[in-house]
Chains A and B, each alone.
Chain A
Amino acid sequence: MNPAVAVSPSRSRLPEWWLTLPSLLWLGAFFAIPLVLIVVLSFKTADLRGGLGPGWSLDAVRNLTEAPYPELAWRTFRVSALSTVYCLCLALPVAWCLARATPRIGQLLLLLIVVPFFTNFLIRVFAWKSLLHPEGPLSAWLRNWHLIGADTQLLNNSGSVMLVMVYTNLPFAIFPLYAATQKFDFTLLEAARDLGASPTRAFFRIFLPGIRQGLLSAAFMVFVCTMGQYVVPQVIGGTGDEMLGAKIAQRALNDRNLPQACALAAALMLAGLLPWLVAKLWQLSRRPRISTVSTVAPSTPANVYPA
C-alpha cells in the first residue's frame, strides 16, 4: 500500500469550552471571587457611613479575639457539634428504613420527608414559633399534663433552639445517609449473622464502617449548615442563644461595618474548611490510586460532529 497521507483530525476542544465557559465565568465572578474578597476585605478599614474606608488595617481581624466573639464562636461550635450528633442519631434509623423498604414504600417515605423540606424555611421556623408560643397549643397541652410550670417559657429557650435546629437540619443528614445506605450490600449483615455476630455487633462493626462515606458527608453538611445558622436562634431563642451567623448579619447590615462582618465570615469559612481538609487528607492517605485505561475512545460531540 502507498504510504498513508497524514491527516490531522479536527478533534477540536471548542465545543467543550462553549459549554463550560458560561457557568464557569458566572460562578467564578459571583461565587469564587466574592469568597476570596471576603478574606481581602477583612483587612480594610470601615467607613462610618457604611461601606469601605480607604486604607488597610488589622483592626477587624484583631477584634475577633475580643468579646463577644470568642464566646460566640464557642457557642456556635458547641451547638453545631451537638446538633450534628443528634441529627445523625435520628437520621440513621430513617435512612435504614428507606433503604430496606420496598421501592413503592420507599418512594412514598422519601416524598413525605422531602415535602416539608420544600416548604419555605421561614414558615417552618415560624410554625415552631407559633407552636412554642406561651399561649400556643404545646404550652397549653404541657401545662395541662403538669410537665412544665405555669411560668416556663418554651421560647427563648436553648433547648427549643436545639430542637428547631435539628428539625431544619435533619433532611440534610438524611439524604447523604440514604444515598450511602442504598449502596450498602445488606447481605453482608446476613453473612455476619451467619458467622455468629449479634445484631448490635454487626451494626457497629459492619454497617457503620460500610456507610462511612455517607456518615462523613452527613456530618459535614449538618455541621456546616448549623455553623452558619442565624434565623433559628434569632426567632426561637433569646439574646443568650445568638450565633455567629446573626452577628455577621448584624455587623454587615445594622452596624454597617463591612470589614468586621467579613472578618467574621472569613473565620466561619476557615472553621468550615478545617474538618473538610482533615477528612480529605485522611481519605487520600488511605486510598490507593487506581488508573483505568479503556480501549475505546469516549463518545463526545466533537467526535460525532467535528467542528
Chain B
Amino acid sequence: MSRSRFPTLLTILVLLFFHAPLVVLILNSFNTSRFGGSWEGFTWKWYDLLWKNAPVWKAFFISLKIAAAATLTSVVLGTFAALALHWYRGGLQRTHGWLVGLPLLAPDVLMGISLLAIFASTGVPLGFGSIWIAHTTFCLSYVTMVMLARLQDFDFSLMEAAADLGANRWQAFSRVLLPLLWPGILGGALLAFSLSIDDFVITFFVSGAGSTTLPILISSMMKTSRNLPIINALSTLLIAGTFLIAALSYRLSRPPQS
C-alpha cells in the first residue's frame, strides 16, 4: 500500500482535536481572565474558591459513595456473568449474552427513562438507592466485557491441572482462578468506578432531591456564567484523576507476560 501521508496527518489532527479543548481548559484554570479570551496572568484563585465551595465537596462525596457501592455490586455480578458466558454455551447463555450486551448499545436517555418508569410504577423512592441500582445496571455490562476479554487468555487446563493435583473446588478457586483473574477484576472495578463517577444523564433521571452527584451539580453550575472558572479548576482536577485511573485500569486489563 502506498505510504500515503494522509491517514497519518489526519490522525494527528484528530488527536489534536481531542486534546485541544482539554488543554485550553486546564490552562484557563490558572488564568486570571474569567473567560479565557486572553492570558491575563497566573493565579490559584479559582482553585481557592473551589476549595471553599461546600456543595461541590458534598456532591463529590455522594458520587464517591455511590461509585464505591456500584463498583462492588457490578464487579461481583459481572465476574459471575463473564464466567458463565465463557464456560458455557447454549440457549441460556445466548439469551444471557444478549441481555448483557444490549445496555452497551442503549442510549443513556433510554436507560434513564426506563429506570424512572420502573421506579415510578413500583413506588421506589428516588435517592441513593435508585442511583445505585441504575449505576450497577450499566456498569455490569462493561465489567463483564472486560472480564470476558481477560478470560479469553485464561488457560482452563490450569483448573484441570489443579484438580488433577488434588486441589478441591475451593483450593482451585482461591489458589489458581482468583490470583490469575485478579488483575482483570481490578481493571473492571476501576472501569466501573470511573463510569459511575462520570455518569450524568442516567443519574439525572433517577436522582431525588437530596442526592446530588457531582456531575449533576456541575451541570446546574454550567447554566450560570458566574461559575465558569471554578468549573475549570474542578475539571482540571477531575481530568488528572481520571487520567490516573484510566492508566491503572489499562495496565491491569492486559494479559500477563507469559
Binding site for B on A (CB under 8 A): 16, 18-20, 22-24, 26-28, 30-35, 37-38, 41, 51-52, 90, 93-94, 96-98, 100, 109, 111-124, 126-131, 133, 135-137, 139-140, 167, 170, 186, 189-190, 193, 199, 202, 220-221, 224-225, 227-231, 235, 244-245, 248-249, 252-253, 258, 261-262, 265, 268-269, 272, 298-301, 304-305
Contacts and interface: CB of A to CB of B under 8 A. Distances in A.
B81 A19 contact: yes
Contacts of B17: 167
B15 A112 contact: yes
Nearest to A133: B35
A26 B77 contact: yes
B226 interface: no
Contacts of A116: 18-19, 22
Contacts of B219: 122, 231
A220 B105 CA distance: 9
B140 to A, nearest CB: 6
B54 interface: no
Contacts of B100: 23, 27
B81 A20 contact: yes
Contacts of B6: 93
A302 B19 CA distance: 50
B113 interface: yes
Given A31-B137, A38-B113, A112-B18, A228 B235 contact: no
Given A115-B242, A124-B22, A131-B24, 6 more contacts: A20-B92, A23-B81, A31-B106, A35-B106, A94-B14, A116-B18
A262 B205 CA distance: 13
A304 B160 contact: yes
A19 B231 CA distance: 44
Nearest to A98: B11
Interface stretch (B44-52, B64-72, B82-90, B180-188): B82-90
Contact of B113 (A27, A114, A262, A272): A262
B212 interface: no
Contacts of A261: 113
Contact of A252 (B4, B113, B144, B169): B113
Candidate in B93, B106, B118, B242 with the most chain A CB atoms within 10 angstroms: B118
A19 B200 contact: no
Interface string B109-136: 1111111111011000000000001101
Contacts of B110: 35, 38, 228, 265, 268-269, 272
Contacts of B108: 228
Contacts of A170: 14, 18
B152 to A, nearest CB: 14
A132 B96 CA distance: 45
B109 A265 contact: yes
A90 B11 CA distance: 8
Contact of A119 (B4, B7, B78, B238): B238
B1 A193 contact: yes
26 contacts: A16-B93, A18-B80, A19-B87, A20-B80, A22-B81, A23-B78, A26-B136, A31-B106, A32-B99, A35-B110, A90-B14, A93-B10, A93-B11, A112-B15, A112-B18, A118-B246, A119-B242, A123-B235, A130-B25, A130-B228, A131-B25, A167-B21, A190-B1, A229-B109, A268-B107, A268-B109
Nearest to A226: B107
Contacts of A133: 35-36, 228
A38 B169 CA distance: 44
A262 B109 CA distance: 11
A126 B235 contact: yes
A235 B225 CA distance: 12
B38 A137 contact: yes
B215 A37 contact: no
A27 B99 contact: yes
A28 B169 CA distance: 30
A27 B176 CA distance: 29
A130 B36 contact: yes
Given A38-B113, A119-B238, A224-B107, A97 B8 contact: yes
Contacts of B211: none
Interface in B14-45: 14-15, 17-19, 21-22, 24-25, 28, 34-38
B215 A120 contact: yes
A261 to B, nearest CB: 6
B35 A136 contact: yes
B61 interface: no
B35 A30 contact: no
Contact of A96 (B7, B111, B114, B136): B7
A199 B6 CA distance: 12
A265 B93 contact: no
A220 B104 CA distance: 12
Candidate in A124, A126, A221, A227 with the most chain B CB atoms within 10 angstroms: A126
A249 B216 CA distance: 14
B238 A123 contact: yes
Contacts of A221: 105
B82 to A, nearest CB: 9
Contacts of B168: 305
Nearest to A300: B87
